[in-house]
């Protein structure tokens, strides 16, 4: 089997808990064996979420993620020239698109999960169930925790390239498989989901993939997306929605799980430009 990123042979294995992964010594990507992956068409047809928190009240979740969304918007708008249109692939309920729309951008989304797509449409967002149904091109395109689900990322990024204007932006976020927390917790790491994640990225592997796919990397960094501001927003959202009777306060176990994700969930974020 060859590496889906660099086409070198997957010449090594890496044991994570009870799962044996395939590894590429050339680009450092780690790949889930095909027989261990879930059927994507079955998974994404349902209301897919990365954690139990994402399946809670959509409005409470939107307020809770507000600091993160503002940080992402700032990343996009500080680029010169600022984009005027944006496509978010795997947009979930459209929180990021909604914030960009409020800044005056023309926005569209792609979301295979039917319930999330229905919510996005309810708040007035143009969201399709596949990229093939999206018309036109955009100044920017985002893949937030999407690329790790794609078994063949090179042709997928080629289709993304076609949706971008000349010098268009690509904003990617994926779990960081090289984080110390993944090493410490092994198969219990929050984002080790081999049945859902086809390719597991290192900074080196992601950069190589983008450069091979026709993009110039503007910046790439490892970071913790759940900041102190996000944790404060989480507590405030819980308090407000519980006081108004719209949500039950999280149990102590749920709060511990939230803290565990905040601390150990390290991602690779990258902003690139169409070459």
Q: Where are the domains of the chain?
A: 12-274
Q: Is the pTM of this model over 0.95?
A: no
Beta strand pairing status for 164-175 and 267-274?
A: antiparallel
39 pLDDT more than 80: no
Residue 144, strand partner residues: 173
Going by CATH, does the domain composed of 12-274 fall within 3.90.1150.10?
A: no
Q: What is 115-155 written as a DSSP string?
A: HHHHHHHHTT--EESSGGG--S-EEEEEEES-GGG-S-HHH
pLDDT in tens, 235-271: 998 898 888 887 788 888 888 888 888 899 999 999 9
On whether the CB atoms of residues 201 and 195 are closer than 8 A, the answer is no
pLDDT given at position 100: 98
pLDDT given at position 121: 92
On whether the CB atoms of residues 268 and 199 are closer than 8 A, the answer is no
């Amino acid at each position: 089997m060859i590496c889906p990123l660099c086409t070198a042979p997957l010449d090594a294995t890496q044991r994570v808990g009870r799962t044996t992964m395939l590894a590429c010594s050339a680009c450092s990507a780690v790949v889930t064996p095909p027989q261990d992956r879930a059927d994507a068409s079955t998974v994404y047809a349902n209301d897919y979420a990365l954690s139990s928190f994402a399946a809670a009240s959509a409005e409470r979740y939107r307020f809770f993620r507000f600091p993160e969304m503002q940080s992402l918007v700032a990343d996009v708008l500080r680029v010169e020239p600022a984009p005027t249109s944006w496509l978010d692939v795997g947009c979930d309920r459209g929180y990021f698109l909604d914030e960009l729309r409020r800044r005056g951008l023309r926005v569209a989304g792609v979301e295979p999960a039917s319930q999330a797509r229905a919510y996005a449409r309810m708040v007035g967002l143009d969201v399709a169930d596949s990229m093939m149904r999206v018309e036109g091109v955009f100044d920017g395109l985002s893949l937030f925790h999407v690329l790790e689900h794609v078994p063949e990322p090179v042709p997928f990024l080629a289709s993304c390239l076609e949706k971008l204007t000349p010098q268009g932006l690509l904003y990617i976020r994926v779990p960081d498989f090289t984080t110390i927390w993944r090493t410490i917790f092994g198969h219990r790491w929050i984002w080790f989901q081999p049945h859902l994640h086809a390719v597991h990225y290192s900074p080196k592997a992601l950069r190589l993939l983008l450069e091979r796919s026709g993009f110039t990397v503007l910046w790439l960094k490892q970071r913790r997306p759940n900041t102190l501001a996000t944790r404060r927003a989480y507590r405030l959202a819980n308090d407000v929605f519980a006081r108004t009777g719209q949500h039950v306060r999280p149990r102590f176990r749920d709060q511990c799980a939230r803290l565990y994700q905040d601390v150990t969930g390290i991602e690779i974020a990258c902003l690139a430009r169409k070459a």
